[in-house]
Amino acid sequence: MNERLDTFENLTNIEVVRRYRLDKDGIDRLNQEYGERLSPKTLGPKNVYSLEKILITLCYFAPVISR
Protein backbone atom coordinates (compact mmCIF):
# COMPACT_ATOMS: atom_id res chain seq x y z
CA MET A 1 0.00 0.00 0.00
CA ASN A 2 1.15 3.53 -0.72
CA GLU A 3 2.50 5.68 2.11
CA ARG A 4 -0.17 8.37 1.55
CA LEU A 5 -2.98 5.81 1.78
CA ASP A 6 -1.38 4.24 4.84
CA THR A 7 -1.33 7.64 6.56
CA PHE A 8 -4.97 8.26 5.63
CA GLU A 9 -6.02 5.00 7.29
CA ASN A 10 -4.23 5.99 10.51
CA LEU A 11 -5.73 9.49 10.78
CA THR A 12 -8.69 10.15 13.05
CA ASN A 13 -11.85 11.50 11.47
CA ILE A 14 -11.13 14.94 12.97
CA GLU A 15 -7.64 14.98 11.43
CA VAL A 16 -9.09 13.91 8.08
CA VAL A 17 -11.63 16.77 8.15
CA ARG A 18 -8.89 19.28 9.02
CA ARG A 19 -6.69 18.07 6.19
CA TYR A 20 -9.22 17.32 3.42
CA ARG A 21 -12.38 19.23 4.50
CA LEU A 22 -14.39 15.98 4.21
CA ASP A 23 -14.81 13.13 6.68
CA LYS A 24 -13.77 9.55 5.92
CA ASP A 25 -17.32 8.60 4.93
CA GLY A 26 -17.46 11.45 2.43
CA ILE A 27 -14.13 10.43 0.94
CA ASP A 28 -15.29 6.81 0.76
CA ARG A 29 -18.44 7.95 -1.08
CA LEU A 30 -16.33 9.89 -3.59
CA ASN A 31 -14.16 6.82 -4.10
CA GLN A 32 -17.22 4.62 -4.63
CA GLU A 33 -18.69 7.09 -7.12
CA TYR A 34 -15.56 7.94 -9.11
CA GLY A 35 -13.06 5.22 -8.16
CA GLU A 36 -13.60 3.05 -11.21
CA ARG A 37 -13.14 5.98 -13.60
CA LEU A 38 -10.03 7.17 -11.76
CA SER A 39 -8.39 3.75 -11.40
CA PRO A 40 -5.25 3.04 -13.41
CA LYS A 41 -5.98 1.08 -16.58
CA THR A 42 -2.81 -0.99 -16.23
CA LEU A 43 -1.00 -2.44 -13.25
CA GLY A 44 2.42 -1.16 -12.34
CA PRO A 45 4.57 -0.02 -9.44
CA LYS A 46 4.19 3.70 -10.23
CA ASN A 47 0.41 3.81 -10.61
CA VAL A 48 -1.60 6.37 -8.68
CA TYR A 49 -4.72 4.68 -7.32
CA SER A 50 -8.15 6.28 -7.30
CA LEU A 51 -8.27 6.99 -3.55
CA GLU A 52 -4.84 8.59 -3.75
CA LYS A 53 -5.98 10.82 -6.65
CA ILE A 54 -9.01 11.88 -4.61
CA LEU A 55 -6.87 12.68 -1.55
CA ILE A 56 -4.42 14.71 -3.63
CA THR A 57 -7.28 16.67 -5.22
CA LEU A 58 -8.97 17.35 -1.87
CA CYS A 59 -5.65 18.42 -0.36
CA TYR A 60 -5.18 20.84 -3.27
CA PHE A 61 -8.67 22.35 -2.99
CA ALA A 62 -8.99 22.35 0.83
CA PRO A 63 -7.10 25.66 1.40
CA VAL A 64 -9.21 27.40 -1.27
CA ILE A 65 -12.47 26.20 0.26
CA SER A 66 -11.51 27.17 3.81
CA ARG A 67 -10.98 30.87 3.06
Q: Is 22 left (phi over 0), alpha (psi -120 to 50) or beta?
A: beta
pLDDT in tens, 6-30: 788 899 999 999 889 999 999 999 9
Output phi, psi for 19, to 5 deg. Answer: -80, -40
Helix and strand numbers (H, E) in the chain are: 4, 0
Each residue of 39-59: pLDDT tens digit?
988 888 888 889 999 999 998
Predicted local confidence at residue 6, as pLDDT: 73
